[in-house]
Amino acid sequence: MGYTRRKIRGINISFLMAGFILSGWALFCAWYSWPRGIRGGSAAGFGIFAVGALFFAAFPAIWARFPEKHPVNHEIARYGDLAQVSSLLDTEMNGPVEVVGPFRFTATLLVYDSGHEFQMIPYDQIVSAKIEQPNPDDPAEIVVRTRTRRQYAWYRTWMQGLFNAEEVLAKIRAAAHLDDANSSESPMSSAV
């Protein structure tokens, strides 16, 4: 099984698992009449958790019917034919891959894989990469812009993954040859 299929399966399983957990909470509310402090609380709790469970379980069903709408397939299709780009991604992920936190650096692709999220950018599509930190209290973010004017922003948080922003930025700029092209943007807009 290739990387693309594993990623699709992993996202589907995570949505189904969230639906399963919420359905368990719905049954807990119905069985134990919880929360008790609110009149009709168990019915409300059951209803809220049941709707949440259906919401999460509906996505894998929709993606099974319309595979092009799956987040992985949708992201891959941005850069060409789904089958060709998926094959390229599978081949490169089976080759030498440098891993820095949630980032995967292959020969021609930057892959962001935080477990529940997937983004992919060919290096030749990257026109700028920099670190932004508007306020000293905010986490530093890596901002990457592409030729199609798409912007990707990744924060160093426990949800998006822990990584050294300066190290990742240096690897992105080197792989995309941004320093060789005399980019008009500086690599860092503020000190981190």
Q: What is the 3-state secondary structure (H, E, C) of 89-153?
A: HHHHHHCCCEEECCEEECCCEEEEECCCCEEEEEHHHEEEEEEECCCCCCCCEEEEEECCCCEEE
Q: CA 57: distance to chain centroid?
A: 19
Query: Which residues are paired to 22 by β-bridges?
Result: none
- Residues 88, 79: Cα–Cα separation, whole Å: 11
Question: Once rounded to an integer, what is the mean pLDDT over residues 4-29?
Answer: 96
Q: What is the mean pLDDT of residues 32-53?
A: 91
Separation of alpha carbons 79 and 92, rounded Å = 15
Mean pLDDT, the chain, rounded, equals 91
What is the per-residue pLDDT for 7? 96
Q: Is the pLDDT of residue 189 over 60?
A: no
Whether residue 183 has pLDDT greater than 50: no
pLDDT, mean of residues 147-173:
93
* Residue 187 pLDDT: 45
Is the per-residue pLDDT at 181 higher than 80?
no
Residues 6+ apart with CB under 8 A from 60: 12, 15, 16
pLDDT at residue 140 in the model: 86
Q: Which range has the worst mean pLDDT, 27-36, 127-136, 170-179, 180-189? A: 180-189
Residue 18 has pLDDT above 80, yes or no: yes
Cα distance from N-terminal residue to C-terminal residue, the chain: 40
Mean of pLDDT values over 40-44: 90
Token duo for residue 189? 């807009």
- Rounded to whole angstroms, the Cα distance separating 121 from 27 reads 43
pLDDT at 182: 52
- Helix, strand or coil, per DSSP, at residue 41: helix
Q: What is the mean pLDDT of residues 3-17?
A: 96
Phi–psi pair at 47, nearest 5 degrees: -65, -45
**Hey, how many other C-beta atoms are within 10 angstroms of the C-beta on 99?**
11
pTM: predicted TM-score of the whole model, two decimal places? 0.84
The pLDDT-based confidence of 97 (bands split at 50, 70, 90) is very high
Q: Note whether 30 and 75 are within 8 A (CB).
A: no
| Residue 60 pLDDT exceeds 90 | yes
pLDDT at 123 over 70: yes
pLDDT at 49 over 90: yes
